[in-house]
């Protein structure tokens, strides 16, 4: 699964150029420069707008469809790839580009279970070489949950089987789209359900750097840049 990730870049122009979108000052202030993004927080996503142009939106991390509850309901931060083609909840979203999203990130966290169950899990950080920007394959919607008074724009990250780079930490990983061409296909209205499902796969082996980081990331209030630095013996 993927419950914590980072979008630590602070330059909206650089992100806008990479993903060919416009990012408002308000969106940049709420979604960028975030080292420890957690469920229910506002995140940056790229979607197809009503006019057919790709646009940036702020979305709640954790899908909140009309049939769900916003508070106290199931955690829908992730959508498993095994449910996309069969689930009545997910199939209508993934089959149309109007509900597919690129969720902008520069890394994500996962926790490795200790051999001794009494010991705490060890967090690891995963990133592309050099910390390059990338996009998770995501689903999004704007709906009014059962316990909400107004529509909520929200999103979920699709997960799949882990590749060789990350399997020692966890057997699942988020779907990281393999570059701009795959990102464009994910948002392409001409790509149907079958075409979208072909994009839902692990990133090829050898594409991710994975290293242990400080357990300070466990606390969502911690947001400093040191959270993504390799763990040292004195940490």
Classify residue 216: in a domain, yes or no: yes
Return the bridge partners of 135, or none.
104
SS3 state of residue 89? coil
Task: Return the structure tokens found at 46.
Answer: 């790229």
By the 8 A CB rule, do 8 and 106 touch? yes
DSSP label at residue 70: S
CATH number where 159 lies:
3.90.1680.10
Report the pLDDT value the prediction gives residue 233, as an integer from 0 to 100. 54
Kindly report the CA angle at 200 between 57 and 30, in degrees rounded to 5? 20
Domain count, the chain: 1
| Structural domain span for residue 153 | 4-228
Classify residue 234: in a domain, yes or no: no
Report the pLDDT value the prediction gives residue 234, as an integer from 0 to 100. 46
Q: What is the pTM of this model?
A: 0.95
Residues 158-206 have pLDDT tens digits of 999 999 999 999 999 999 999 999 999 999 999 999 999 999 999 999 9
Classify residue 37: in a domain, yes or no: yes
Mean pLDDT of each 10-residue bin along the chain, 235 residues long: 92 94 93 96 94 92 90 86 88 95 98 91 96 97 93 96 97 97 97 97 97 96 95 65
Classify residue 98: in a domain, yes or no: yes
* CA–CA gap between residue 229 and residue 212 (Å, rounded): 8
Integer-rounded Cα Rg, in Å, for the chain is 17
Number of H helices, E strands in the chain: 5, 12
**Cα dihedral value 198, 155, 6, 165, nearest 10:** -30
Task: Return the structure tokens found at 126.
Answer: 């995963």
Task: Return the structure tokens found at 105.
Answer: 């990130």
* CA–CA gap between residue 158 and residue 155 (Å, rounded): 10
CB contact set of 188 (below 8 Å; sequence gap of 6+): 97
Report the pLDDT value the prediction gives residue 232, as an integer from 0 to 100. 81
Classify residue 56: in a domain, yes or no: yes
DSSP label at residue 208: -
Classify residue 194: in a domain, yes or no: yes
Task: Return the structure tokens found at 118.
Answer: 């009494």
Classify residue 235: in a domain, yes or no: no
Report the pLDDT value the prediction gives residue 87, as an integer from 0 to 100. 84
CB contact set of 218 (below 8 Å; sequence gap of 6+): 123
CB contact set of 5 (below 8 Å; sequence gap of 6+): 37, 105, 107, 108, 109, 136, 157, 174
Classify residue 233: in a domain, yes or no: no
């Amino acid at each position: 699964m993927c419950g914590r990730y980072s979008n630590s870049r602070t330059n909206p122009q650089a992100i806008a150029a990479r993903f060919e979108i416009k990012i408002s000052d308000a969106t940049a202030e709420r979604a960028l420069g975030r080292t420890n993004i957690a469920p229910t927080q506002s995140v940056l996503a790229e979607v197809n707008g009503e006019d057919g142009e790709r646009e940036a939106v702020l979305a709640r991390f954790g899908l909140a469809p009309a049939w769900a509850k916003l508070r106290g309901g199931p955690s829908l931060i992730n959508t498993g790839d095994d449910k996309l083609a069969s689930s009545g909840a997910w199939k209508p979203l993934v089959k149309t580009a109007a509900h597919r999203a690129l969720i902008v990130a520069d890394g994500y966290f996962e926790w490795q279970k200790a051999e001794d169950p009494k010991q705490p899990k060890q967090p690891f950080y995963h990133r592309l070489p050099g910390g390059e920007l990338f996009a998770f394959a995501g689903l999004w919607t704007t709906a009014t949950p059962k316990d909400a008074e107004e529509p909520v724009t929200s999103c979920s990250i699709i997960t799949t089987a882990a590749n060789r780079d990350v399997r020692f930490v966890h057997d699942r990983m988020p779907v990281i789209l393999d570059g701009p061409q795959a990102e464009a296909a994910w948002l392409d209205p001409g790509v149907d359900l079958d075409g979208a499902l072909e994009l839902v796969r692990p990133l090829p082996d050898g594409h991710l750097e994975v290293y242990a980081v400080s357990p300070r990331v466990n606390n969502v209030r911690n947001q400093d840049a040191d959270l993504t630095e390799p763990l040292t013996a004195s940490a």
